Structure 1
């Protein structure tokens, strides 16, 4: 089986990267994590990649004279590795519209809220402050506006009256680790496609209407 060559872009500890690497080790998983790129040489996630025998690259934004030069270097690294899909996993750099368009419908991101609610930072504290009862995470195709783009998979958790931002964040992170591999598999197989800026699933799983924790659930 041919697997889709995928790069994961990170800036920090790489917990979602670890979840993707674990999924990619499973027989039959349709994506190969072929490259991990960090914009920070000290990113902890580089250790996850090395432990899994995955190639790594550092494209330090501080070593380039502005965003165009940084993105040109990043693009060159991705092209050299023959990358077909890109996953953003805690990659803390805003990408230009030109770069995002170059990877349109081939770059996905995980965000710790049920988009379109709570775009941006501090999502867990904001969810508690707003008094919502359901919170969660979203994997979506990347667009030039931050935390927008067609939604691929979402996972939800209840917001408890005893929650702090940290306790809620921990439960949401566990959901992220479940939904990101699922979303990458859907994109890599072509089961998730974008039509009129909405994701259409080629084969929705049986009984999916009963699954509210993670949508779409495993086939």
Structure 2
């Protein structure tokens, strides 16, 4: 079976991109990263990608007069390399509805909270200030609304009473690096089925049970 062709979009160091690169390098992994694209020429993740023999591309959003023109260029390039899936990994640009709809069910994103809680920015500060006992991270399909879309994988992280936003973010990032490759693997194996706003996982591994949301029937 041909591997799923993936483009990863970053704006900075792209630590989640790096976790995907490592996962895709494993024998038998069902996806391959065919390009790392950034809107920022100075993104540190571009160097990592190049060092791992992955083609890179920069499309600077500042070269375009509006979001629509920028996103149109993204689509033109991604279509030209025939990608099957787009993984957002710290890509700090809001995508237009036109772009999202063009790539319907072909864009994954990772967010550092247990969606639908704490959408948007300053997530860790807000989680601590809320008094919540748990937070975490989520991989989901992208929809035009910010931080919306069917959830594929999640991981739960406790909030300690002594936590700073930085300490909490570091612990959550460790889990992000686990659940993003898992979500990509499930999608690449064609085991992810979208039913309305809900994802069902076919033949889920019991060891990953706690990371799958919603719970797969029979587990």
TM-score (norm 2): 0.94
Counterpart Cα distance in 2 of 1:190 and 1:102: 20
Q: What aligned pairs does 1:36-75 form with structure 2 within 5 A after superposition?
A: 36-75=36-75
Q: What aligned pairs does 1:69-84 form with structure 2 within 5 A after superposition?
A: 69-84=69-84
Count of equivalent residues: 214
Counterpart Cα distance in 2 of 1:49 and 1:138: 24
SS of the equivalent of 1:34 reads strand
Match of 2:212 in 1: 215
CA deviation vs aligned residue, 1:114-142 (integer Å, no higher than 9, x gap): 00000001111111101111110000000
Match of 1:8 in 2: 8
Give 1:205 shift: 2.1
What stretches of structure 1 of length at least 5 have no aligned partner? none
Q: What aligned pairs does 1:1-219 form with structure 2 within 5 A after superposition?
A: 1-206=1-206, 211-212=209-210, 214-215=211-212
Counterpart Cα distance in 1 of 2:169 and 2:23: 22
SS of the equivalent of 1:155 reads strand
**Cα 1:88/1:207, change in 2 over 3 Å:** closer
Counterpart Cα distance in 1 of 2:63 and 2:106: 26
Counterpart Cα distance in 1 of 2:14 and 2:51: 13
